[in-house]
Structure formats: structure tokens, C-alpha cells
Amino acid sequence: MQDGKRHLILIGFMGTGKSTVGKAVAELLQVPWRDTDLSLETEWGHSIPEYFKRYGENAFRQAETGMLAKCLAEKPAVITTGGGIVLHPGNRDLMIQNGYVIHLQADANTIIKRVKQDDPKRPLLAGNQVEKKVQELMQEREGYYDFADFTIDTTASSLQKIINEVVQYWQKQAV
Ligand code: S3P
């Protein structure tokens, strides 16, 4: 294991399965699971859409950076993150220095299908034209996830297969 890289961190666009995969991996590896979005919601006592409505995206990004730093300072964990955490260069540095960063990716059509099935919990995709919003955001964020140590394409993969790939990757780093 490399110096400083204590955590397993999942990044990726909305709808790539970070939280579902991370929670399952943490259970298998018997380490804590921390999710930056869920931790913020617990701290605030209200949802992310509510926070966006009250304070806006910039305030959310600052809170997200604070929560990331908090999670990284704790004992080794599987940390799952919001899709936009990679926008801030400081966040990217923090993640790559403190953990093995795995990027879960999927193609636009798969993401559109998945986010439409979810509850309306994503302020950036609220309202109509989900397809257009996903495509635009994916374009804007092109390259932002490339700093990861390892990338898994989840497009045509089963949940079990993705979980296995993450665990295998982690075990290779741990020897
Ligand atoms: C966001 C993704 C969301 C959440 C917030 C903003 C983004 O997390 O952090 O709505 O900017 O991509 P998920 O990736 O878990 O949906």
C-alpha cells in the first residue's frame, strides 16, 4: 500500500452506482462506509435539493469540500462521493493523496435511464429535459474523472461484477 493512501474512494458521474457499490464493498471488506452527500444531509438535517434551494450550488461545493476533508481525516473507510466533487482541483488532490480512487463510468444513455428511475433527488437534473442536462454536464465534466487510479465501465456490467472488480483492485493494493 502506498504512503498516505488509506481509503478506497469512489468517484463518478451521477447514476454510476457509487453509493450502492461502495456500501456493499465496505460490508465485504468490513471497513466503515462514508458517503459525502449522506453525511452532509445528516449534518444539516435536510436534503441536498433543499440545501441547493436555500443556499445555492457554490455553498454546496464548499460544504462538500469540508465534508470530504472530514471523511479523509477519519480511520480508513470506503468513501463515496457526489458526482461533482471532482470539479474542485483541491478535492482531486486530496482524494488522490489519501486514497485509491476508483472511477465508475457509464455511457450517457445508461446514466439517463438510471437517473430517471431514481427519486428526484438531484437538483442539477430537476425538471424536464433530463437527457439534455445529463449530456451537457457530461460534456462539461469530460476529463475531470481521469485522475483516478482505476476506472471501471459499469455500462453493461452487473452490480456483483462491479463489486468484485473493486474488491479485487483493493486487494491488489493491500499486498
Ligand atoms: C452532484 C451529484 C450528486 C450530489 C449533488 C450534485 C453533481 O451526487 O452530490 O446533487 O454535481 O454531480 P450523486 O453523484 O450521488 O448523484
What is the whole-number distance in angstroms between the Cα of residue 152 and the centre of ligand 1? 19
pLDDT of res. 148: 98
**How far is it, in rounded angstroms, from Cα 85 to Cα 103?**
12
Residue 126 has pLDDT above 80, yes or no: yes
What is the atom index within ligand 1 of the atom nearest the CA of 141? 12
**Mean pLDDT, residues 25-50:** 97
DSSP for residue 74: S
Give the whole-angstrom CA distance, residue 145 versus residue 161: 21
- Average pLDDT of the chain to the nearest whole number: 95
Tally Cβ neighbours within 10 Å of residue 172. Answer: 10
The model scores a pTM over 0.85: yes
Report the pLDDT value the prediction gives residue 127, as an integer from 0 to 100.
85
Amino acid at 33: W
Q: Which domains does the chain have, with CATH numbers?
A: 7-174 (3.40.50.300)
Give the mean model confidence (pLDDT) for residues 123-138. 93
Give the mean model confidence (pLDDT) for residues 45-65.
96
Residue 19 or 128, more confident: 19
Centre of ligand 1 to C-alpha 121, Å, is 9
Write the DSSP string, 95-154. Answer: HHHHEEEEEEE--HHHHHHHHHHS-S--GGG-SS-HHHHHHHHHHHTTTTTTT-SEEEE-
Q: Establish whether residue 122 lines the binding site of ligand 1, counting it when its CB lies within 6 angstroms of any ligand atom.
A: yes
Q: How confident is the model at residue 119 (pLDDT cuts 50, 70, 90)?
A: confident
Query: So what's the pLDDT on residue 99?
Result: 97
Instruction: Give me the mean pLDDT over the 125-131 stretch.
Output: 89
Q: Helix 18-29 vs helix 159-174: angle between axes, to the nearest 10 degrees?
A: 50
Q: What local confidence, expressed as pLDDT, does residue 121 receive?
A: 85
Quick check: 67 pLDDT over 80? yes
* Neighbour count for residue 105 (Cβ, 10 Å): 18
